[in-house]
Amino acid sequence: MIGAKIFLFLLILLLVIFIFRFKYTNRFRIMEKLTLLTVFFGSIIIIIEPKILENIANSIGIERGKDLIFYLYILLSAWGLLRNHARINSLNSRLNKLISTVGINAAEKINKD
């Protein structure tokens, strides 16, 4: 179980590093779509053959497959949270630049008149 905790902690750490180093572009959206498709098809396979989940969980030191699903849910939720946080910060920055530009243009227009 300790090995699984270390493994999951490293995955979360990599996720945090990845989200803060990656710019929100179309390539990023494609990566998200590919990740979601992979999760979707993996879920279908697990639904069809649940024993696979037990085997994967046992191989990384987790006692039950249900716990593995819960841990994966935590990782995916963290991904969504960090992604949305980065996107909100990006939008906030763009909005601040827009407001500054509009304010400067308005002040210049007033000075000309």
Q: Are 71 and 15 in contact (CB under 8 A)?
A: no
In three-state secondary structure terms, 36 is helix
Which pLDDT does position 25 carry in this prediction?
A: 61
Which pLDDT does position 46 carry in this prediction?
A: 79
Spatial distance between the Cα atoms of 30 and 35, rounded to a whole number of angstroms:
9
> Of the candidates 28, 3, 7, which has an alpha carbon nearest to the alpha carbon of residue 20?
28
Q: Are 63 and 1 in contact (CB under 8 A)?
A: yes
Q: What's the predicted TM-score (pTM) here?
A: 0.56
Which pLDDT does position 21 carry in this prediction?
A: 66
Alpha-carbon torsion, ordered 87, 91, 96, 98, to 10 deg: 150
pLDDT in tens, the chain (113 residues): 567 667 767 776 776 676 666 665 656 677 777 777 787 777 778 778 888 888 888 888 888 888 888 888 888 888 888 878 888 888 899 999 999 999 999 888 888 87
**N-term to C-term CA, the chain:** 73
Could you list the beta-strand ranges (E) of 1-113.
none
